[in-house]
Structure 1
Amino acid sequence: MALKIEMLRCFAAVARTGKLSEAALQLNRTPSAVSMMLKQLEEHLGEPLFKTDRKNRLTALGSFALEQAERELYQFDSTVHAIESFANAQHGHVRVAAVPSVAATVLPRAITEFLNRFPGVQIELRDMDSTTILHELSRGRVDIGIATAGLSASTLHCEDLLSDQFGLICSAHHPLANLDQDLTWEMISQHPFIANNLSRVITAPAFQRLHSGATLSVHNITSLLAMVRAELGVTILPEMALKTVSSEDFVFTPLPESPPERQIHLLRNADSPASPAARELESQIFATVSEFEMEKAL
């Protein structure tokens, strides 16, 4: 007969209390069931664990067995607790990579709500461009990615998260900041243009001419907006990009001809199932986006 963890738990309870009845109460069993399990353990070992039938004095084997049993029970209970906590999203480590506009707007609220419910989970957040996020996801360095999915994301699990309107961004003191008429591509072309990677998805020929003729190209959003603030030119970005800075310094104007919106996706590796904590965080991110959209509609 193989030793079972419940045998050790039964023996340890009897050894600590010195009485079958008290041990039975602790274990939520009958005294006869406890006595039978203890007898089975002693028969397996071939020697008694207690010096008398009163169970209040241990033999040498009993003392050694109690020391080993308590160590094993502690390890077993700790392991079970860790597994259950992980399964219930009470513990874990979730790595998130998001484009800066989402990292600065949606995620602060989403993570606050999440940690209020699951304070034992560790979250590691990095903001980076979509291409880098896809690269990190493909190598398993990120659990959740929030980015614009491209063709290279075909091996990833992908869900639509939100969309973002493109528009002209200029300094609050720029001539295009306070127009009394609709913006046109011709108006934009009369001013220095700062190119960036985010707006490359716009296919309008007038925009393509602006982009190819730009003498300044900036890839970092913070640096790009600093250039616009310094009135080195105007640029075109999704509206959420302004949420990362003081919007009083800039003016956002919708583009002519309503170009396609930027689509943001929630991504994860399709070959690796998400941990319970990651699944809960994903749900919270979607809920937070819904809250933002409702607030925007009011």
Structure 2
Amino acid sequence: MNPSLKQLRYFVALAETGGFGRAAETVFVSQPALSQQIKELETILGVELVERLPRGIRLTRAGREVLERSRRILGEVAELERAARLSRGLTGRLRLGVIPTVAPYLLPIALTRLRARDLTLDIRVREAQTEKLLDDLEAGRVDAVVAALPLPVAGLAVEPLISDRFVLAGTAARLARWVGDPEALRPTSLAPDQLLLLDEGHCLADQALEVCGLRGRGRVDLGASSLATLSGLVAEGFGLTLLPEIALRAETAAAPGLALMRFATPEPARELALVRRAGGDGGWAAPLADLLREAGAELMGSARTVCP
């Protein structure tokens, strides 16, 4: 007798939630039913997968190995379902993951274009940080992800989208020192104790540190959870931050006191891309990437108007 896909899904849910009760809620079954399926899976495989503890579970060595393989198997099954669903191109249901520093700006335009292209397209959007989205991509919970390159995993199919340049944001008073000498404005000239960044885990925060040649966060860093929060803070005089062009139209409208200045050439930038699992029928990815590029180009044009 072989393990069933249902048993593998239940086991992955148990491993990810750390308890039978929480896992049962995740997969919408009763706790006894889930517990019975896990026992049957252990019997079929002939190994103990979890240690039952007073407050949850702990994976055994065999359990960790089975978890890795289960995720791989479920991911392949999801890829099979996805390939069949999208075999006719950009139709049916599309599950798209987008990082938080892109989603609020690109999606309103891109989704409008997608709807105009095909009103029957069922679009499901997942907004999360890069690491989580790549896990979802591997597990087949999303079909594609919009993220910034480079990515921490290999073996993905990549469709480049846009080069999203960074600009310096703050009050006009804080930016005044560079007004007469714009060629002096380089990321490495910024004082670490003046730079505000997003919370740790956001790839944009890591990119900002890298382009500024900084090893850590300054004393004034407030660890904001969104670019909107950062923009509001620096517009009120709480330091400086780096904003991507894709966000300029929205953030300058929301924070009237925000002043912007471009860096000297070459301007620092991040490369945005549409990524998906390699292999399979990717005929739907090219038209999706084209629509995302068009939406990105519109935002880039607005950025040049807001900050020439």
TM-score scaled to structure 2, two decimals?
0.55
Identity of aligned residues (%): 23
Q: Aligned with 2:149: secondary structure?
A: coil
Match of 1:119 in 2: 119
1:72-111 mapped onto 2 (5 Å cutoff): 88=88, 92-111=92-111
Match of 1:213 in 2: 218
Q: 1:291 to 1:215 in 2, by over 3 A?
A: closer
Report the RMSD for the aligned CA atoms in angstroms.
3.7
Match of 2:70 in 1: none
Match of 2:196 in 1: 194
Match of 2:274 in 1: 266
The Cα offsets for residues 137-175 of structure 1, whole Å up to 9 and x where unpaired, read as 22221112111133423121112111111221113x543
Match of 1:48 in 2: none
* Deviation, structure 1 residue 92: 1.4
Give the paired residue count: 212
In the aligned structure 2, how far is the partner of 1:195 from the partner of 1:85?
A: 40
* Deviation, structure 1 residue 223: 2.7
The Cα offsets for residues 264-297 of structure 1, whole Å up to 9 and x where unpaired, read as 1111111453475x65433322344456667878
Q: Aligned with 1:138: secondary structure?
A: helix
**Preserved CA contact (<8 Å) 1:104 1:243:** no
Q: 1:99 to 1:206 in 2, by over 3 A?
A: closer
1:1-298 mapped onto 2 (5 Å cutoff): 88=88, 92-171=92-171, 173-176=172-175, 179-182=179-182, 183-184=184-185, 188-189=190-191, 192-196=194-198, 197=202, 198-201=204-207, 207-208=213-214, 211-220=216-225, 221-247=227-253, 248-256=256-264, 258=266, 260-274=268-282, 276=284, 280-289=287-296
TM-score scaled to structure 1, two decimals?
0.57
In the aligned structure 2, how far is the partner of 1:269 from the partner of 1:284?
A: 19
**Preserved CA contact (<8 Å) 1:160 1:263:** yes
In the aligned structure 1, how far is the partner of 2:243 from the partner of 2:275?
A: 22
In the aligned structure 2, how far is the partner of 1:236 from the partner of 1:175?
A: 13
In the aligned structure 2, how far is the partner of 1:206 from the partner of 1:87?
A: 44
Q: 1:131 to 1:254 in 2, by over 3 A?
A: farther
> Which has the higher Rg, Structure 1 or Structure 2?
1
**Preserved CA contact (<8 Å) 1:202 1:259:** no
In the aligned structure 2, how far is the partner of 1:206 from the partner of 1:180?
A: 21
Q: 1:143 to 1:90 in 2, by over 3 A?
A: closer
In the aligned structure 1, how far is the partner of 2:101 from the partner of 2:232?
A: 15
Which residue identity does 2:197 align to in structure 1?
A
* Deviation, structure 1 residue 88: 4.5
In the aligned structure 2, how far is the partner of 1:237 from the partner of 1:148?
A: 14
In the aligned structure 1, how far is the partner of 2:120 from the partner of 2:159?
A: 27
Q: 1:142 to 1:249 in 2, by over 3 A?
A: farther
**Preserved CA contact (<8 Å) 1:168 1:255:** yes
Which residue identity does 2:248 align to in structure 1?
L
The Cα offsets for residues 170-220 of structure 1, whole Å up to 9 and x where unpaired, read as 13x5431583332546874297321345153357796416x5434424252
Which residue identity does 1:135 align to in structure 2?
D
Match of 2:14 in 1: none
In the aligned structure 1, how far is the partner of 2:252 from the partner of 2:218?
A: 29
Q: 1:126 to 1:132 in 2, by over 3 A?
A: same
In the aligned structure 1, how far is the partner of 2:110 from the partner of 2:206?
A: 29
**Preserved CA contact (<8 Å) 2:193 2:220:** no
In the aligned structure 2, how far is the partner of 1:99 from the partner of 1:217?
A: 20
In the aligned structure 1, how far is the partner of 2:132 from the partner of 2:157?
A: 17
Unaligned segments of structure 1, at least 5 residues: 1-83
The Cα offsets for residues 224-271 of structure 1, whole Å up to 9 and x where unpaired, read as 223223322111232223334234332221235635421111111114
**Preserved CA contact (<8 Å) 2:87 2:281:** no
